[in-house]
């Protein structure tokens, strides 16, 4: 399996996961041009895609979806609530008929040799999900837009080879920043976003000897920065109640504007 963040941040998200047989994207919250450039770094184009998985309907996850769906006719996988919310929003424009494939939480499905399990995430969207993608004996997880984590989230992210995990904001930066009060409360709430500290605490529950790579993603442009997210998460891991130190793992911040290193697991 190959795993790559094409873009990840509060302004746009797009993640690639693939095998020798199948190539999928999780979200297209960036322009079609930017998505194509990211795929080109993997020696792929939009014509190679076998499916697009959507986590939820917010614009930083679907911005380029309409353009790409019209250009390539790639099947779009999303929950019924997300499909309905996307259609009602009018943000996608005219979509090819029959392009949506409705999925359900905790009901795995196959795209060629990739086994995909959607799991519920606590976020202020219609019917949002995260994804666990497996091929042979390897697996990667995408978990962003989490207001909180719980036993169910932890169970769905166990024994991964690779993980893209939200580290959205620094709590102090958010509290003293320019956002209006209601928006601060939304982000800090149980259906908002994970702070750097909580990302580190969740990661402590997921680490194991064979975890190969961790990307920290969905960083806020206004309330976080790469070095702070990295240092905070690493500190939580090193000082946390687990047998590991952060240097035991490859932890990297996914860039908001260009593709990350390509990881093979």
Whether residue 200 contacts residue 237, with contact meaning beta carbons closer than 8 Å, is answered with yes
CA–CA separation, 171 vs 224, rounded Å?
A: 9
Low-confidence ranges of the chain (pLDDT < 70): none
Residue 48: the pLDDT is 98
pLDDT, one tens digit per residue, over 72-99 is: 999 999 999 999 999 999 989 999 999 9
CA–CA separation, 155 vs 97, rounded Å?
A: 36
Which CATH number does the domain housing residue 124 bear?
Answer: 3.60.15.10
CA–CA separation, 94 vs 82, rounded Å?
A: 17
Query: Hey, what are 67's tokens?
Result: 């353009």
Domain ranges, residue 67: 2-264
Sign of CA dihedral 196, 205, 6, 86: negative
Residue 250: the pLDDT is 97
217, β-bridge pairs: 166
Helices marked H in 41-79 — which ranges? Answer: 59-62, 65-72
Q: What are phi and psi of 118, to 5 degrees?
A: -80, 140
Query: Which DSSP category does 136 fall into?
Result: T
CA 239 to chain centre: 26
Residue 92: the pLDDT is 94
CA–CA separation, 21 vs 181, rounded Å?
A: 48
Residue 139: the pLDDT is 98
Which residue from 220, 224, 221, 230 is spatially nearest to 253, judged by alpha carbons?
230
Query: Hey, what are 242's tokens?
Result: 């687990």
Provide the number of structural domains found in the chain: 1
Residue 65: the pLDDT is 97
Q: What is the pTM of this model?
A: 0.97
């Amino acid at each position: 399996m190959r795993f790559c963040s094409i873009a990840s941040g509060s302004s746009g998200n797009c993640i690639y996961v693939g095998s020798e047989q199948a190539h999928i994207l999780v979200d297209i919250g960036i322009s079609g041009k930017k998505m194509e450039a990211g795929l080109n770094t993997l020696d792929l184009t939009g014509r190679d895609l076998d499916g697009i998985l959507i986590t939820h309907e917010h614009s930083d996850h679907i911005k380029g979806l309409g353009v790409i769906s019209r250009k390539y006719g790639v099947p779009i996988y999303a929950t019924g609530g997300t499909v309905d919310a996307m259609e009602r929003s009018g943000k996608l424009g005219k979509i090819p008929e029959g392009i949506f494939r409705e999925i359900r939480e905790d009901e795995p499905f196959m795209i060629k040799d990739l086994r995909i399990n959607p799991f519920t995430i606590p976020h202020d969207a219609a019917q949002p999900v995260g994804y666990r993608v497996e091929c042979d004996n390897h697996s990667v997880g995408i978990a962003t837009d989490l207001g909180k984590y719980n036993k169910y989230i932890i169970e769905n992210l166990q024994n991964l080879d690779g993980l893209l995990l939200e580290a959205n904001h620094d709590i102090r930066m958010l509290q003293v920043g320019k956002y209006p009060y209601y928006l601060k409360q939304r982000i800090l709430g149980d259906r908002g976003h994970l702070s750097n500290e909580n990302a580190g605490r969740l990661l402590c529950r997921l680490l194991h000897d064979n975890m190969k790579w961790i990307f920290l993603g969905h960083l806020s442009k206004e309330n976080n920065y790469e070095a702070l997210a990295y240092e905070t998460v690493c500190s939580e891991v090193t000082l946390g109640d687990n047998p590991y130190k952060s240097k035991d793992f490859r932890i990297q911040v996914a860039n908001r504007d260009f593709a990350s290193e390509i990881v093979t697991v």
